[in-house]
Structure 1
Amino acid sequence: MEIQSAVPAIVTRYTITSANDVPERDPKNWKLAGSNDGVNWAILDSQVNQSFASRFLTKTYTIDSNATLYTYYRLTITANEVNFNISNALNGLYFLHVTDGVEKAVRIIVKY
């Protein structure tokens, strides 16, 4: 899944939500990447062997090492338990946006 931000932003954290019905559809391994041209991607975060204790459980993942503004973001699920539907997993991206020297947390809502 790829998302284009209205303005370049520094991602500081993002959330993933478990599937609504069965654990077999939950994401297990994934990578979050950023890009400014939609072609060349930098890995911002990767997770392995993640599990969710309940349905609709939202977990937050923090990215401490990113200091680069990106316009495009890509979430790639590399493993799940069985048949994973990404529309049940990506809840949103939070990023840091600087306007007039003031840092503001902004959330990208993903709609399907």
Structure 2
Amino acid sequence: MKQDWEQIVSYFGAARLRSGSDELKAALGGIEDVAKSIRQSALREGLFGWTSMLDLCVQQTDVEAYSGPYLRVSPVASGMIEFRYLDTAIESRQWHRTEVPTQAVWRLEAFFDQLGWRPKST
């Protein structure tokens, strides 16, 4: 079920506060920063998101969740964050990167630029 960006930011903030692990807390903070970045940008009107357990899912089209390609942003037990674009069921063909939490927003922006989800800045 799609959620508005304010709800998503609140969800990850609460999950971060509930976390007992410092690594998971850091990763969830990075995902919260990603959600805040989208919420604060003009992209919030053209990107549709939802939460799935501790994952943030983002798609570019306003269709039923999981029914089209989407970006999944997930915490990893080591404290890293995995970005995975699910546009095929063949895992080895999916674009994916792992990033430290402090670079999560940068990775999101690089993904947007790479796939053309926003106009490139000049």
* TM-score of Structure 1 vs Structure 2, range by shorter chain: under 0.3
Q: TM-score, normalised to structure 2's length?
A: 0.26
Greater relative CO (CA pairs within 8 A, separation 6+): 1
TM-score (ref. length: structure 1): 0.28
**Structure with the largest fraction of strand:** 1
Q: Which has the larger radius of gyration?
A: 1
Structure having the larger proportion of residues in helix: 2
